[in-house]
Structure 1
């Protein structure tokens, strides 16, 4: 602006010497300079206040979200940590690290030694944060840090640490890392927007002032009277422009912040209630529809996998060994389910309930369920062979399944919800599992005779079964295998799961 003013053509307004006349500027440019300077100072102050408040609010939001997530991780890790369930800790950290907002997850021992970690975590050890009695200075500790090789002047990462404890016994510490880059980018983008707005309004105000100043540059006496009106009008235009810009910017900022708070609150609520990634993903896509009892009727297949003789097996085992065995076999059930588009609905004692065809519709849910059951039995046979070679007793499972219409949705209380399926078809699957023998897979005739299944499975007639709650008997078949084209797939899956189990 100063260069434009200095190169303007001088115009004398009054013979009385003055500071303004020594600069030799027309009144239009004087007015433009004053209004532009006022506009610039005002916008700079407003921008500083807005960006400072915005940064503070976003930082508080990140801190609240981080504190909630790390406390949830500490609560979820309590049982596997106290039971030395390293696999459970790895599954827990891996599931949590898959979330886009979370950049790193770690669990430490009570003396600060790293146990499991996923993603980015601070290079500095948790030991450095602990007091002499291996305690955190605060309930939840906040640490800002830079990723290795980062050239950023600011700490682009922030980690939250919380104790994993039961009553007064601290078993370890949970850590969750988040990126602050998005927060910095939002603030930087706001600063750029404010600067651009300031330049545009300043140029507009200068243009208006110059045009008005030239029109009002008349004889000196009329200029004095016109100057008051021009300055008043100029202030009115300036205040209006400032008011409009301030209101629009504040409205946009509040809308953005409100949207951010709402989305983060919903994400936090959903992920505190659900474990299955596929279920959580679908619910996040339809967050406005998440309500208790808001289920829908679907056609799906339910499989019950039950460990045979678990009570007698566990009588001569310590609780730690029982937990280790269950965790091992539950991991097998889970790995097989993911290979065939199923989800583990829940673990009930020594039994797993696996669902196919929901929440994502699947036209081949019956065949996928059978393939899952066959894969589990093949895997169990290989595992038992290895167990016997090591002098351990074999552990067998029995499987029953059924398909049909069922209600899939949220059940529970406001504080704790569960996505599950219910209905008569589910109950029938459980009762068929009870009728199965060791190493057997029982399916009803309705599944076997379906066009997507019949020519792809090998079965033996199991007979007519009388089931509790059913007035008529159910014609049942035992699945012995799938057709030849699936054998190699099963073999590779079993090898893959066992190889991954050995690596862990």
Structure 2
């Protein structure tokens, strides 16, 4: 913008200077021609009558004009009849022209500098007969000086206007580019995840409307992020991600899958809750459900739901997992070992111990959204799920129960013992169940590492006692 303004002002200055020069040159020529024609008209008759006195009066009077540096009257043969001031050296051929013409020439001034002069020569005629010629000499240096002065004035004016235009362009560019720079920085902050960024500038122009729209967008993104975070706490994160990624089709497609379901129930919870305050019951459930959720995620499972004091976990539901059965058993062993370690701390603190009974089953089930258009949940249903719940109810405290088919499938990788055979409503044949003791040594290293991760996430004993006292 500044470059365009400078080029525009420079072009305008050159145009005005050129017009000024042309105007001054035209005025000088018009003045010289007028003076020469007037002198020729007055001198034509005295030339014919050879009235030298009259001729001298004409040149003398003309020489009194300060603009005229010289005047001369010549006979038709080029002989000088009367003159005043300076005269150029002209040949007789210069006086043979039938029209007025200008003759430029130079002379040295007293200070040695050259001075440009112009002599205007015109024929003097009387009644159609050429009597002679007259010449008027003017200084072109004065015109040159006036031209230089006019050019300088135009140059200075152009520079002043250019400077003013540059300052104006700079101010406009700052007014336009600086807010855009702020908007770019705020956009980068949004990209980095800083959704609390706002542009606190009040403007009543289009950029102000843009700032307002950006702030509204940032507020909407922040609210959306908060909703997603809250939503992810009410359902599994993987389920939340899939739902949020398909907002146009909220109802996830129901599909039959092969998966494993784990039910973990706190034994004696009803009797325990009668001895605790409601806030203590809530704190206990939140603590252990948090442990179960972390243990589930370590083995690639998802929390299907929390039912009272029972947690339902699913493995191999949202993502393909060919080892979902073993991952579910490993998660169950991790939960029991973690509960045992936590019970040691609870006994030391004088708090009641918490024991889990766990039932696991794998098989065909249907995964999808169940519910109405107003409220739905993503879950798994089927006979395999019902059997896992029944196995959980058959388990004793600190026990993990699986059916015989699952034990047979995982026998080389788990340590278990046969328990008994239980009848299942709706099934003609009873179901043999096994109690999982541990997993094979190949999985022990991962199990111990995961157990340490969960223990490291625990608050210190001193802090926990302070919370309990409060």
Band of TM-score, shorter chain: 0.5 to 0.7
Change over 3 Å in CA distance of 1:494–1:266 after alignment to 2 = closer
Give the match for residue 340 of structure 1.
299
Give the whole-Å Cα distance in 1 for the aligned partners of 2:192 and 2:408: 43
Matching residue within 298, 304, 318 for 2:257: 298
Give the match for residue 196 of structure 2.
179
Change over 3 Å in CA distance of 1:267–1:319 after alignment to 2 = closer
Contact 1:274 1:418 in 2 (8 A): no
Spell out the pairing of 1:424-439 with structure 2 (5 A cutoff): 424-439=383-398
Larger RCO (CA within 8 A; separation ≥ 6): 1
Give the match for residue 232 of structure 2.
274
Contact 2:367 2:380 in 1 (8 A): yes
CA displacement 1:84-136 (0-9 Å, x = unmatched): xxxxxxxxxxxxxxx9746xxxxxxxxxxxxxxxxxxxxxxxxxxxxxxxxxx
Give the whole-Å Cα distance in 1 for the aligned partners of 2:267 and 2:224: 41
Change over 3 Å in CA distance of 1:331–1:272 after alignment to 2 = closer
Whichever of the two has the greater Rg, that structure is 2
Give the match for residue 332 of structure 2.
373
Matched, 1:3 2:6: yes
Give the whole-Å Cα distance in 2 for the aligned partners of 1:443 and 1:266: 42
Change over 3 Å in CA distance of 1:23–1:472 after alignment to 2 = farther
Give the whole-Å Cα distance in 1 for the aligned partners of 2:304 and 2:391: 18
Contact 2:264 2:358 in 1 (8 A): yes
Change over 3 Å in CA distance of 1:454–1:290 after alignment to 2 = farther
Contact 2:243 2:252 in 1 (8 A): no
Give the whole-Å Cα distance in 1 for the aligned partners of 2:355 and 2:263: 14
User: 1:343, CA displacement in angstroms?
Assistant: 2.1
Change over 3 Å in CA distance of 1:13–1:465 after alignment to 2 = farther
User: 1:390, CA displacement in angstroms?
Assistant: 4.1
Change over 3 Å in CA distance of 1:292–1:265 after alignment to 2 = farther
Contact 1:273 1:418 in 2 (8 A): no
Give the whole-Å Cα distance in 2 for the aligned partners of 1:318 and 1:356: 34
Give the whole-Å Cα distance in 2 for the aligned partners of 1:256 and 1:184: 8
CA displacement 1:369-425 (0-9 Å, x = unmatched): 000101111122222333334444432211001122333333445555433323332
Matching residue within 274, 285, 288 for 1:315: 274
Contact 1:293 1:411 in 2 (8 A): no
The DSSP-based 3-state class of the residue aligned with 1:312 is: helix
Give the match for residue 484 of structure 1.
441
Give the whole-Å Cα distance in 2 for the aligned partners of 1:7 and 1:302: 84
Give the whole-Å Cα distance in 2 for the aligned partners of 1:427 and 1:442: 14
Change over 3 Å in CA distance of 1:261–1:412 after alignment to 2 = farther
Spell out the pairing of 1:75-154 with structure 2 (5 A cutoff): 101=193
Change over 3 Å in CA distance of 1:489–1:256 after alignment to 2 = same
TM-score w.r.t. the length of structure 2 is 0.53
Give the whole-Å Cα distance in 2 for the aligned partners of 1:342 and 1:355: 6
Change over 3 Å in CA distance of 1:10–1:388 after alignment to 2 = closer
Give the whole-Å Cα distance in 2 for the aligned partners of 1:270 and 1:302: 26
CA displacement 1:222-245 (0-9 Å, x = unmatched): xxxxxxxxxxxxxxxxxxxxxxxx
Matching residue within 417, 426, 438 for 1:469: 426
TM-score w.r.t. the length of structure 1 is 0.50
Contact 1:271 1:280 in 2 (8 A): no
Give the whole-Å Cα distance in 2 for the aligned partners of 1:455 and 1:323: 40
Contact 1:273 1:417 in 2 (8 A): no
Spell out the pairing of 1:341-490 with structure 2 (5 A cutoff): 341-412=300-371, 416-450=375-409, 453-490=410-447
The DSSP-based 3-state class of the residue aligned with 1:273 is: helix
User: 1:495, CA displacement in angstroms?
Assistant: 3.7
User: 1:352, CA displacement in angstroms?
Assistant: 0.8
Give the whole-Å Cα distance in 2 for the aligned partners of 1:100 and 1:10: 54
User: 1:483, CA displacement in angstroms?
Assistant: 0.8
